[in-house]
Structure 1
Amino acid sequence: MFKQFKEYFSFTKKELNGLLVLCILMVIVWVSPSVVSLSGTEKVYDPSEFKKEIAAFRASEKKHVKRNYYREPDKARGYKENKGSPVYFKFNPNNLAVSDWVRLGISEKQARVIKNYEAKGGKFRRKEDLKKMYSIRPEDYSRLAPYIDIPEEQKNAKVYVKKEYPSRRPVIVEVNSADSAMLETVRGIGPVLASRIIRYRERLGGFYRKEQLKEVYGIDSLRYPAIAEQLNTDAGSIRKININTAGFDELRNHPYLTYKQKNAIIQYRKQHGAFTGIGDLRKIAILNTEILRKIAPYLIF
């Protein structure tokens, strides 16, 4: 046991040297604050210099002399801007030079906004039009209004208004007999939509009412009202199916019946004989009232 204790707490020569150095460093760190406080003196700051600078700044502020705003002539533009005292004279605000606006007490920046408005085709036909410029303040307009003088020919300048022509009377197209070219004459129907209408019409056997067009992909509740007034349907031209003789192939393409419903019709007919009317079809469980209402116009018994 003593041997194990000795092995656990024994140190090599290298480890003992390291412990010694660590102890010396700890002692130095511990005593260094005391040595620094004894050897040095605390620095005292004198605020008198700072106070002198503040006093000099305040003295220079009192000597400041207010000056009227004046801008020396701009060599590039050839005019000067002076907001000291406006010079009033009769003027036409259309194509008035920037230098003249400045003489009237309008700043160069405000005048540039007016010139940009004119560059885009803007005109002043009445003196009140100047008040609509966002760069002209109400007080500016009030003092300038008595001096605005717009010539009569500019006041009465003709304003061109786009003439609205009455729309042509739409052509009514019979959707069950129309080919693709005829359908494309309807406003709102292009080549792609015309092709879809014809393909769906062939599967269906024809449209017995216009509302069935909503079943065509691409004709939604927004497009339908725009084309409905240009179309009509001849219900007498739809292709009908003899439900007592039709085979699965004849029923296969009709979009209103599923595969199971078509097969159920044929099997029921084989077991119970020919159908005498739409009431017999109601006896088939998977044919609901909605399906029968939609398919009835296409059946003969």
Structure 2
Amino acid sequence: MRLQIQFSSAKNYILGFATSGVFLVAGLFYFNNTQATENAPDTFSEIRSDTKSSLSDFNPNELSAAEWQQLGFSEKQVQTILKYKSVLGGNFHSKAELQKCYVISEEKFSELEPYILLPEEVSGNKKSASFVSNYNSDRPNFAYSGNSFSTKKTLKIPGKFNPDHYSSADFVNLGFSEKQATSILKYKNYLGGSFHSKEKFGECFVISAENFQKLAPYLLLPEKSSAEAATSKNFISKDFKAEKKDISYEPFDPNITDLVGWKNLGFSEKQAQVIINYRDRNLKGSFKNLEDIARCFVISPEKFEALKPFIVLNPENIKERKFASNTTENSANRTENNLQKFATNPTDFSKTDLNQITFNQLIEFGFDERSAASFLGFRKKLGGFMAKNQILETYNIDKNLAQKLVEIAPLNTENVERFSLLDAPEEWLKSHPYFRYYADKIVYYRISSKDEKKIFKSLNLKADVEKKMRLYLK
């Protein structure tokens, strides 16, 4: 009886251990399979081709989770991509950044790459590089210390478009404020009614670098305008590689060559006109030697060397001396006649306002016609002198004589027009000698700020330039 009880107990122990072992083995098998499934890397071989949608141009920053799945990604892969985007600050800035997401294989990226509306790379993007580094590490946290993007207005880009055709309302619908839209259109008008290139569009002050990166892939504009150099203020031609066909040079006299003749030599119409003006105005009618021609700033050294063997300076066409002699003689006669007239009715310069003094009075004081004209021309551009020392800045003036006049004559500034930076007319800013080089910046800065001190700070002016500006500000 005793042996039977002991055998029965041993049997129960054995059965118990066996049953526990079965459950343990089964549990381990199930756990290992689950872990293997969860940890298995996502590859595109497990995605059926019939889930892929037909591809078209897209911006990865605008895709929802469902739209990423339509491109052929699994739900887990989409979660990883979106998490990666948030680590980058909320946007992919280039194709290169998107390619670094480890769940996107090289084959899949090659398939998508032609349709991605992002620039190839963004140079100097140090923040993005640090985000990628953090993301690819095994750290559990992805801290981002940059500026928050939650307060920025999101752009709603409908597709590819030409900003030259956009109205103020169109830019507002795109995501800009009304003031920004107005500023963008003013900038376009300043450029001559067209943005010309993506580069010029991106230079608009109110378009941030971030927004430009988003817009650039959609802009129906060339990257850079080939006409930019030709339309610059100086019309300087540094090389002639873009000339019309090959030019066959023939001997020519530059003193009788007209607009068409200079154009046939390979110059643009504007360049040709500059050469003629230089000859007729600066050189009083003719080139006297080869150095005169070489000094014309629109004729590059390379172009001059090409022209030099064919230049014929006919002495009969050099009329500068006679022209200058006549001019000097006539000027002397006029000055002598004026002095004779002034001798009978002299001006009291101690009572003559420098902002009212006339051409004849300046001649009477002793200035020649050229200095007197420069004095009046500078005063007109300024809208009147605000300080006596401004007169000494006048181009082509006899400074010793001007100093004597400044010491004798009074200056009344009551009638000189002044404005604040906030209400100064744009035309006034662009024509005034002290403001014209900063006019566009002032116009754009004051759209977003009503604080004149902030505008001055943003302009980053030299002390002497700011001092001159303040003479004409309220």
* TM bin (shorter chain): 0.3 to 0.5
TM-score by length of 1: 0.38
